A and B are shown apart, each in its own frame.
Chain A
Amino acid sequence: MNAHVPDPVPVTVKTTCPYCGVGCGVLATPDGQGGAAIAGDPSHPANFGRLCSKGSALGETLSLDGRLLHPSVDGARASWDAALSTVADGFARIAAKHGPEAIAFYLSGQLLTEDYYVANKLAKGFIGTPNVDTNSRLCMSSAVAAHKRAFGSDTVPGCYEDLDEADVIVLVGSNTAWCHPILFRRMVDARTRRGTKLVVVDPRRTQTGEEADLFLGLEPGTDTALFSGLFVHLAETGAIDRRFVTEHTADFEAALERARTIAPDVPATARATGLAIADVAAFFALFAATPRVVTAFSQGVNQSAQGTDKGNAIINCHLATGRIGKPGCGPFSLTGQPNAMGGREVGGLANMLAAHMGFSAPDVDRVRRFWDAPAIVTGEGRKAVALFEGIRAGTVKALWVIGTNPLVSMPQADTIRESMGQLDLYVVSEAVDDSDTVRARGRTTVLLPALAWGEKDGTVTNSERRISRQRGFLPAPGEARADWAVMADVGRRLGFGAAFRFDGPAAVFREHAALSGFENAGSRDFDLTGVGAITDAAYADAAPLQWPLRDSGDGQARLFADGRFFTPDRRARFVAVEAPALASAPSPDFPFVLNTGRVRDHWHTMTRTGKSQRLSAHRAVPFVEIHPDDAAAAGLANGDLARVATFHGSAVLEVMVTAGVRPGSLFAPFHWSDATASDARVGALVRGVPDPVSGQPELKATPAAVAPVAYRHRGFLLARAPIRPPAGWWWARATVQGGSGLQFATQDSSREVALAMRGLFQGLDVADYADHGRGRYRCAVYDEGRLVACLALAPSAERPDWEAEKAYFAAPALEPSARRALLSGRAETASAGPTVCACHGVGLDVIAAAIAAGAGSVEAVGAACRAGTNCGSCIPEIRKMLPPALARDAA
């Protein structure tokens, strides 16, 4: 196995988890072998020592297997100098010919703030293109837009302690139990400690819904109706904080009037949402009666063509009751990614400029002066969907993708993938050497090796505005470099050397902090003045900090308790939201609504979690959830394969029948790609109508059809290294302990599969079991006694289970009974022992048992188990097994 170069002095390093937006503190202790022991950081205020399954398994993701370690140009290894010259020269040529707006950056919520800052500065300040967007567009840009509409700034008002101190927590469109597990633990702890009630609003009854005190399984896309109804209810039951509304907000009446047209009362709300009247009434009463209520929301709200309105419908209810900025209450956007917040802070999205400043003339002027950037852009660029449409349309000629896999995760991903060939210059900064995005090619393609978690060094900001250090504890592998340094290098090559003279991430951070405080004076929420002069040493040791950090350097846990917002008049805004309607309604051809999302143990496109056998065990194949009634009507049973098709694409997924999805709905996780499965690019199915305000595409409601796909055989293959399956097989790959596993389906006969296995493992010892008449084949391949591969194949309906085989595969050595079990597919049973009596096939253990049960002579043994009663050649052996005294008597 590949591993980092050993580090001579292992010390425990405090860092931050690279997965979700909770931003848990991690203690990493390198083992000197390229790996590290991982533990939660007890002192980190996000998690106090806890880690979820993904965070706990970080140690399994550190190997250098599958890492991109060297730059390349058009598939040929290249020096950094040559590769970056190709990038800089290409940018210069394209900018000269087509204008700088023909250059686009597609960034990632996985980037560190320092990487993000340099990317944003390079693109918007110096290359002069506003076309900088990020996968955060797919994640929480609707929350950003809702914040800005309501507060005048992209501000998360509360903090995690509010979850500890709330009496009611409403989770909207959030499978918190799986996607933000450590926050969910805090919520469950609060329930235990103070009786906090959990209300879960979700069309799908997820694990979070299972834990709810009140589950509201509404129809897809009707959240706005629910919260409009709540708004009206609050107004009509005297729950409005009149003074707060009067003194600190605007547009209350218009918003309320609109809410009344959407959901005037409880029954109307129930009708609009498909909920029971009693459940709606119970929710409204609970909300109205509980001052300390947090409404936490994530992708179910954001990834919607009406996501911004959904967010504002929620915020309206909190503004109306004045429940914001105070302990235990407030609207709370749970961000998906580890540094979506940091990206927002630097302005790394197409509709932001920098440091929570937009494109107003004063903002543009201020940033221009700060950066000394005469070519600075003056208006918004293309948001993700439009950016990729620009490539297809030929207006965007160069794309630099950094730290993300858009050819899997974007809606209509197949169309986008096809359009990459039109790019004059396609640059990918990546840590992994195989992903759908890495596989794509432009006319010129440059791959740049990036540092991964554990190697890179900088800061990230979590959902509660807390900036934590992500510290490196492993050496940079191969030729991999920090993204910020690579981009600064390109900036210098383009002739902007003075603006990119950073000697380390601390220098980038200082400039970023200084910009946040530049001519701020309390006018902007985002302000890091307090750490604007942080020394390299202080940066190195920095403890987690919560912004705003004005002069004193003390963080601020909550905002808006004083009723002062960042609108020009410092009043918050109620927003009159649109009535809910799905952007694309189901049709006779596509009668289902396809929802997409995550599983518990995988992250994004599995480039990191896919390396962990623990994390790959929970859900090993791409699947689609379907309601039992719909499954029966479609002729689908649990475990079958089904083609899920939309107007835009299709995938073949394993069927999981569950009453957790509503009738008429489907749910499929988006994690799998061509690198991990044959036919499971769920992103390709998604229509992705963008929200008109945020530009965030709808990922959770695409009309879809589902139909069975019949394969002759199903099976699995475990091997020490990933094996490329034959063409025509359906397959999904998962890391297993000691190797790589494939679940597959095929039309091939068992004979063909047997032949293929013999071909794959020539020269090794193949043990097998073949019942071709019944389409069954199993084999185990040994290399000097060590199991190196095993396969099981059976008719589709049987779907061989691989749990036992995975255990054998992980074992250092196999007993004969285990080798037999590998072939039989049956659990190891108490063996009869080595055969003693050949005539009757009686084993040693059976004879021993007969003797133990009282058979005291050869004849008695024979009477008990027939051993020795035919040819008698085993009688001496049987005699030896008798206790000495008895043996003598018998003789």
Chain B
Amino acid sequence: MRERLVVIGNGMASLRFLERLTEAAPGLYDVTVVGAEPVAAYNRVLLSSLLGGEVDEGACAFRGLDWYESHGIRLITGAPVTQIDRENAMVIVGEAHVLPFDKLVLAVGSLPIRLPKPGMDLPGVLTFRDLADVAAIRRAAVAGAKAIVIGGGLLGLEAAVGLARLGVDTTLLHVMDRLMERQLDHAAADLVKRAMESRGIRVLLEADTATIEGEGRVERLVLSDGTVLPADLVVMSVGVRPNAGLARDAGIEVGRGIKVDDRMTSSDPRIFALGECAEHRGLVYGLVEPAYEQAEALSRHLIGEEAAYAGTALSTSLKVSGLPVFSAGQIEAPDGAETVVMSDPGLGLYRKLVIADDRLIGAVFVGDISEQGWCKSLIRSGERIADRRDDLMFGRAAPQAQSLAA
């Protein structure tokens, strides 16, 4: 009899894991996937495009229900798991399902954070995490509405762009002195800010929200400096925390996320975690790339291949409102390090390499992120780069760049 493999969560990490597993070893496991959302895994990265109306829901879909069926996967949607019963090796979904497992994969993602400020629970204060959020925001974003997005990280920027594209008067608040401060230095962040502003988004930095007010519904937001901003809609995008409550309740070892080893194995050798809910070597990732690498590693491990996940070099590659942005490694030069910078603000172009002892230790690119793969591999390998600085900065000759892009 085949082993029973239960996967909790049907997000992007979960789907990539299922794809890799069933490609490599079709039918090896009796697989059941149980997801809280009412639909099968979709492309969460496209939510901002969906919000802005650039794509429809169909474009966000990855695999149809027929794919799950044809790959022998039992998919249960709209089913939030309520308990993991380790003693009996069962996953319990309220009164609806009891799913016994031999192996269990937790791919339950993360939960949006709500700031602990007065008025945070007023109707019209929303988060931006899933299809339901998008639908809620779109309902609130009527013509003439004033929207405020709190949070100048990637998701906040994308939410603001989506809102602006809907024609909503949008203000983005960020408590730090620059956008995306963990990924970008000041110059790069300033370009991103310019790009946001060119979309008609008002960006307020060092804007600390004090309260959200309104009679039965959000009407205004007050900053700690007393500024009052009228608002019909507030989107909270101040970060996420790993969704580790289920595991914690089950007595699985949890730090910030569910602690796993290089084989994505939790403190219970039958139970694995991947994606944003997992904590690997003390790090919790919030991006799709490490989740995919983890899915790769776990799928190989579960079919008996030698596999280990060694962590993902911290890097970000994305587009903010069509503006490509890349950041990896150290974004500011530590003492003794040097930088190479190319900047053309009028062109929305910024490229910085951070170099210490002839080794690349960081890179920040805006507007043109070519050679970003090479940068990542050089940061990882620590190779000397003396004769490659120009190529890293300006790009190698085109054909080579494509074939070698890591």
Contacts and interface: CB of A to CB of B under 8 A. Distances in A.
B340 interface: yes
A832 B370 contact: yes
A767 B369 contact: no
A692 interface: no
Interface residues of B, number: 46
B397 A829 contact: yes
A648 B322 CA distance: 65
A563 interface: no
Given A835-B324, A876-B46, A770 B338 contact: no
Contacts, number: 121
B346 A841 contact: no
Contacts of B46: 872-873, 876
B49 A835 contact: no
A768 interface: yes
A873 B288 CA distance: 11
Interface string B223-251: 00000000000000000000000000000
A839 B289 contact: yes
A841 B317 contact: yes
Contact of B402 (A846, A871, A872): A846
Contacts of A835: 319, 324, 368-370
B346 A767 contact: yes
Contact of A838 (B325, B349, B389): B325
Contact of B343 (A768, A782, A876): A768
Contacts of B319: 835, 838, 873-874
A318 to B, nearest CB: 63
A838 B345 contact: no
Nearest to B375: A841
Interface in B335-382: 338-347, 349, 355, 368-373
A369 interface: no
Contacts of A97: none
Contact of A820 (B289, B347, B390, B401): B347
B54 interface: yes
Given A840-B373, A841-B371, A841-B373, A876 B49 contact: yes
Contacts of B289: 839, 870-871
Contacts of B322: 834
Interface stretch (A185-193, A253-261, A772-780): A772-780
A771 interface: yes
Contacts of A747: none
Contacts of A820: 344, 347, 349, 368, 394
Contacts of A769: 340-343, 393
B398 interface: yes
Given A838-B324, A870-B292, A824 B43 contact: no
Nearest to B349: A820
B347 A816 contact: yes
A812 interface: no
Nearest to B320: A838
A865 interface: yes
B338 A773 contact: yes
Interface string B303-334: 00000000000000111001011100000000
Interface in A8-22: none
A791 to B, nearest CB: 14
A452 B349 CA distance: 48
B135 interface: no
B186 to A, nearest CB: 15
Interface string A811-848: 00000100110011010011010110011111100100
Contact of A841 (B324, B338, B339): B324
Contacts of B355: 773
Given A767-B347, A772-B338, A832 B398 contact: yes
Nearest to B322: A834
Interface centre among A772, A780, A782, A843 (most CB of B within 10 A): A843
B132 interface: no
A378 to B, nearest CB: 73
Contacts of B349: 767, 816, 819-820
Interface in A838-872: 838-843, 846, 865-866, 870-872
Interface string A400-442: 0000000000000000000000000000000000000000000
Contact of B344 (A772, A819, A841): A819
B290 to A, nearest CB: 11
Given A871-B289, A872-B43, A872-B45, A838 B369 contact: yes
Given A769-B393, A832-B401, A840-B405, A870 B288 contact: yes
A37 B168 CA distance: 58
B341 A765 contact: no
B392 to A, nearest CB: 11
Contact of A823 (B45, B292, B344, B395): B344
Interface in B12-68: 43, 45-46, 49, 54-55, 59, 62
A785 interface: yes
A767 B49 contact: no
B326, B338, B347, most chain A CB atoms within 10 A: B347
Interface residues of A, number: 39
A865 to B, nearest CB: 6
A841 B343 contact: no
A796 B340 CA distance: 19
Contacts of A866: 405
A365 B395 CA distance: 84
A765 B349 CA distance: 13
Q: Among the interface residues A772, A873, A876, which one has the most CB atoms of the partner chain B within 10 A?
A: A873
Given A765-B346, A838-B318, A771 B369 contact: no
Contacts of B397: 829
A874 B369 CA distance: 15
A841 B376 CA distance: 12
Residue of A819, A838, A841, A872 ringed by the most chain B CB atoms within 10 A: A841
Contacts of A823: 342, 344
Contacts of B317: 838-841, 870
Contacts of B368: 820, 835
B389 A771 contact: yes
A765 B324 CA distance: 22
Most chain B CB neighbours (cut-off 10 Å) among A820, A832, A870: A820
Interface in A778-826: 780, 782, 785, 816, 819-820, 823-824, 826
Nearest to B397: A829
A780 B343 CA distance: 10
B11 to A, nearest CB: 13
A841 B372 contact: yes
A480 B54 CA distance: 68
Given A832-B401, A871-B289, A876 B54 contact: yes
A820 B394 CA distance: 9
Contacts of A819: 344, 346-347, 349
Given A838-B324, A840-B373, A770 B340 contact: yes
Nearest to B403: A865
B131 to A, nearest CB: 15
Interface in A755-774: 765, 767-774
A203 to B, nearest CB: 44
A780 B317 CA distance: 28
Contacts of B45: 871-873
Contact of A865 (B288, B341, B347, B402): B402
5 contacts: A771-B389, A838-B319, A838-B324, A840-B405, A870-B292
Interface of B: 43, 45-46, 49, 54-55, 59, 62, 288-289, 292, 317-319, 322, 324-326, 338-347, 349, 355, 368-373, 389-390, 393-395, 397-398, 401-402, 405
Interface of A: 765, 767-774, 780, 782, 785, 816, 819-820, 823-824, 826, 829-830, 832, 834-835, 838-843, 846, 865-866, 870-876
Given A767-B344, A841-B372, 8 more contacts: A819-B346, A820-B368, A823-B342, A829-B398, A835-B368, A841-B317, A871-B43, A876-B46
**5 pairs of A and B residues whose beta carbons are closest in the complex:** A767-B344, A835-B324, A873-B45, A824-B394, A769-B342
